[in-house]
Amino acid sequence: MKKLLVVIDYQNDFVNGALGFDGAEDLEPGIYAAAQQTLAEDGYVLFTRDTHPAEYLKTREGKHLPVPHCIEGTEGHALFGRLHAFEETPHPHTMLLDKFTFGSPDIGQRATELCSGAPDIVDVCGVVTDICVLSNTLALHASLPGSQIRVLGPLCGSGNKEAAQKAIDLLQGMGIEVTN
């Protein structure tokens, strides 16, 4: 059974930087432990990184979210805390996926490449629940119809609790399991 953990955008700018929020730092021990456990069980870990050019404010997203963040090559772009080690010393069962919009259009393809075939189970965690976690989970759901997709609720976070709950409700309504 192939298991994949997808860590969505757990980067400095979303934790304690430009778009950081209360409670984001508290997710680090659990996300790190989940990555370590997945790898110890011979699973795979895909890390997405929100990635923008220096001219971010001129992009479609920048016009709607006018806060420069995750600019490629900056400290804010790097994975947060102990997860940064996966950028410095890649593991053969890990992959970094830079994405230039909320949801990656090729996340399912990249997951399949990493796992050398579609994974049986895909666990998703990270930030921001109501934006990038939601959009990438739906992209995985659509592109990996034979995989069980689960969102690890305690390992997701958002600065907008009401919007995050609406996203969780939407995911559950689509048959995606959300753990408590």
Residue 90 has pLDDT above 90, yes or no: no
The values of phi and psi at residue 157, to 5°, are: -155, 160
The upper half-sphere exposure of residue 100, i.e. CA atoms within 13 Å in the direction of its Cβ, equals 8
How are strands ordered across the β-sheet holding 121-127? 94-99, 44-50, 3-8, 121-127, 148-157, 177-179
> And the tokens for 167?
């996203």
Which of the four pLDDT bands, split at 50, 70 and 90, describes residue 176?
very high
- Amino acid 171: pLDDT: 98
- Amino acid 3: pLDDT: 98
Distance (Å, whole) CA 163 – CA 47? 23
| Number of helices followed by number of strands (H, E) in the chain | 7, 6
For 163, the enclosing helix (H) or strand (E) is helix 161-173
Q: Three-state DSSP class for 53?
A: coil
- Amino acid 165: pLDDT: 97
Which of the four pLDDT bands, split at 50, 70 and 90, describes residue 9?
very high
Using CA atoms, how far residue 4 sits from 35, 69, 77, 153, in Å, is 9, 27, 23, 16
Which of the four pLDDT bands, split at 50, 70 and 90, describes residue 77?
very high
pLDDT tens sequence across 137-158: 999 999 999 999 999 999 999 9
Distance (Å, whole) CA 168 – CA 130? 8
Instruction: Tell me the mean pLDDT in the region 28-35.
Output: 98
Residue 67 has pLDDT above 90, yes or no: yes
Instruction: Tell me the mean pLDDT in the region 89-108.
Output: 96
Residue 69 has pLDDT above 90, yes or no: yes
